Structure 1
Amino acid sequence: MNIPIPPSFHPDAGQSDIFPDKGEYVLKVSIGNPPFDLYAIADTGSDLFWAQCLPCDQCYPQKNPKYDPKSSSTYRNVACPSKRCQLLGTTSCAPPSNTCNYTYGYAAGSLTQGVLATETLTFASTEGSPVPLPNVVFGCGHNNTGTFNENEMGLAGLGRGSISLISQISPSFGGRRFSHCLVPFNTPPTISSKMSIGSGSEVSGPGTVTTSLVASQDSTFYVVTLNGISVGSTYLPFNSSGAVTKGNMIIDSGTPPTIVPRDFYNRLEAEVKSVVKLTRIDDPQLRPQLCYGRNVQAQGPLLTAHFDGNADVVLKQTSTFIEAKDGIFCFAMTPIDGPGGIVGNFAQTDHLIGFDLDGNTVSFKPIDCTKL
């Protein structure tokens, strides 16, 4: 069935389902005409939206059928050279067809290569009727390698860059903003939560706290300032000296653990160990992680992340200790040798988080995401 494209629309908000997937979260996106359901990793730490495309010269195994551009009446290759081709810095022209070839890599070593194209994406809306959005630029990936699993049909880049899915589609829904709610790790994959896009996706009401986004050299990232973390009632500053550099953390839904500088991590781990009155489990396969039995999710300390602007976000025990093996729960943070870090998706669970690209803020509201 062909979708009629309205000349103009302005629903309250676009909506999409997000499902948990083995430490990542996949966003349901309908692409093409007729619509083809795509489940792509929801990633606020990158910009490009791409899908595994036929023909797949070198693709990772995928459980669902791969997207076939030939089956869609609205697929178009991006011309090269063109302004759209330049939205991504890693493109090249491929004569004689002059397709816009791209290469896009990730910190974990994953890589996608293919051609930039445009397609119609269809989203649900709070008005109830599906909304088709024509001419969205995406990557048709013909060579995709890395740490992807069979449920992931691509990746939805939700960063701040001009080619990101959010930058392209949110103006059609009335504003450059979106919010998501991530269900806890190991929630059954049949339980989804919602992402809202545009006007009406604002996070507000009792319990909401807001911090400022910090300008960054890399236009992709949502950068915030973390002043410190409290373990129970004990406050630990981000830096031992007490001085905090603005913009020291990236909020990244595509990275599971929270990553902090080694000195900060060592102080956090030592305080957690001193508070938890349980026997530590030393599993050779999990070393050097700090691990305990199942009771730690009930008896472990509450951690509170203190962001700039008095934005205090309480992390539940279910997001502080994650089941790494049957009955073994490990501290969901990891150290890095560097000055900054990442707020991973474990720490984001059971919070409605709103990103406002125009207002340069991020808001957090504690909520049971399985009830959305």
Structure 2
Amino acid sequence: MRSRSKPLLRDDQIAKSAPRKTRDPAQPNLPFDAIPDRIEPALALLRSKAPSGSDWTFEVKFDGYRVAVHIEPNGIRILTRGGHDWTSRFPTIAEAARDLGVGSAILDGEAVVLDNRGRSDFSALQRSLGGRGGKRVSTEAVFFAFDLLYFDGHLLTNTELSVRRHLLTDFLDGATGAIQLSEEVDGDGDKLLETARSHGLEGIIAKNRESKYRSGRTGDWLKIKCVQSESFIVVGYEQSSVARGGIGSLLLAARHGNEWKYVGSVGTGFKERDAIDLKRMLDKLATKSPAVPMQGKRLVFSQPTLIAEIDFRGWTTDGHLRHASYKGLREKQDNASVYEFLNEE
């Protein structure tokens, strides 16, 4: 069995948040709120530099599927970012939620699969679920909770993050099973990012301590990545008689207004099994009308349907990805956002 050690950053110059005091049980009698059917998630804005100042707290950026765990009187629901019910896909997380002993709660966080060094691995998560469109359940997945949106009959979205984290820490601190706490880390954001890079992590998330929970990309949460990673649409592939699986590279595009813009190809990162599955799916989507203008003898064009997660090191002057590497396909239910060029780009 894989290690489930927490993917924490360890650096003598960066101190972990001081332990919180136990919540005072003598609370005022607040009116009870009905548990929401779903809460649209708060999203992080991409920034190249970490913010500074005491208003910000930091966490590890996970590389998995954003989900919300609903603990309700009638049972457990695990919802994807797009609102699809994936309870059956994450049975160990659902079981761990039942064992928390909480009457009602909504936990916001990320479902991940950890490698043997305790780092989240998107490709491993995809394999555990059977790939895009797969029906397999993942018993390896771990849910890292980083926010508490509803608890014990009270809606917390209008409460400051510092208070929500206090409550979340109260009943998850020390948990080591399929549901764990995403640890907060205090320290200088730039040093923290450098430590994350040295550990081979995805990046860090910065959050405003006093912010309320607001859906969408409001700027209350920021993501700073060690390696750039974005979602692109697959518009075809280059045939290969040498590469195993018959795919030499995938052809990628990004949104540009109401059209697609070609951003180059990716020929590394997928194994033979990945290439075979990709070719089978793309051949079913084959079309003679490419989504972006291009020509080539060995190119097979496909309808712009499949969304691939790609690591890359930057952009060339002509708008193509540099040193791109394939990580896996995003599920439609994940509601992943395809990279979009701004008008000035």
What TM-score does the superposition give when structure 2 sets the normalisation length?
0.28
Q: TM-score, normalised by structure 1?
A: 0.26
Structure in which a larger fraction of residues adopt helix: 2
Higher percent of residues as strand: 1
